Amino acid sequence: VQDVASSRDPGSGGEEGSQQRWKEEISRILGEIQAPLSPLLLRLCHWLLPKLLTRLFLGVQLHRGQLEMVLRAARTPEVPLVFLCSHRSQLDGPLLSFILLSQGIGVPRVTVGARTSPRLRSLLQRLGGIFLPSGMAQTWGARDEGLPGAVLDAYVQEVLRRRQPLVLFLEEPPAALQLGDPARRWLLRLLRALRDGAVPDVLVVPVGITYDVAP
């Protein structure tokens, strides 16, 4: 991040003023990616979600074999967990978060698509949702993604170093089964973290949610 910031001058005002402007811009970008978790909201949603599920579905089933695989992966010492999941519904994120939290794995950081209202975005961020920073939508495929790309790289590396569970959805619902642009960006950050040695290894765990009738 410092390398990118030092190569661009946001304006006049001296070195101290320039550094302050960069700090403000970096904080703004980071605020677009995530927000501090709210324990109160997490507890409230943990209580409300089962009640919502009983109204939406006739039943919810957990695949015991897959759950055991996830728990075995979570017991691997000193290795961050990255869950890869196809995206069938907007309920996928809350469902996965609820299951992982209830099994003692912790609150995951869950990637959320850009097509979200500002109020819902703010709520999801407090529950562990993370978003791509604005200004990156037009730069996919470019060699230089600027400061937003550098901050996103640093953010993903820090999540992995702290061994926070990370959930990446591979496409946007209700699209066909093909890798979406947001997934490409997140996976690129994951590969860069490994290439740059931010973490020695990552444990990739495939998980899936299916519906008889998608909500």
**Range 27-32, long-range pairs (CB < 8 A, 24+ positions):** 29/133, 29/147, 29/148, 29/151, 29/152, 30/151, 30/155, 32/131, 32/133, 32/134
pLDDT in tens, the chain (215 residues): 888 877 766 554 566 777 888 889 999 999 999 999 999 999 999 899 889 888 888 888 888 888 888 898 888 888 999 999 988 788 888 888 888 888 888 889 999 877 788 888 899 999 999 999 987 754 455 455 788 999 999 999 999 999 999 999 987 766 666 788 888 899 999 999 999 999 999 999 988 888 887 66
Residue 12 maps to a domain: no
Residue 111 has a pLDDT of 92
Give Cα separations from 52 to 4, 20, 22, 46, 212 (angstroms): 45, 46, 43, 11, 17
* Number of domains the chain is built from: 1
Residue 5 maps to a domain: no
Number of CB atoms found within 10 A of residue 22's CB? 19
pTM confidence score: 0.85
Residue 3 maps to a domain: no
Residue 56 maps to a domain: yes
Residue 175 has a pLDDT of 61
Residue 10 maps to a domain: no
Residue 178 has a pLDDT of 76
Residue 203 has a pLDDT of 93
Residue 212 maps to a domain: no
Residue 180 has a pLDDT of 81
Residue 142 maps to a domain: yes
Residue 8 has a pLDDT of 66
Q: What range defines the domain where residue 156 resides?
A: 17-207
Residue 135 maps to a domain: yes
Residue 57 has a pLDDT of 84
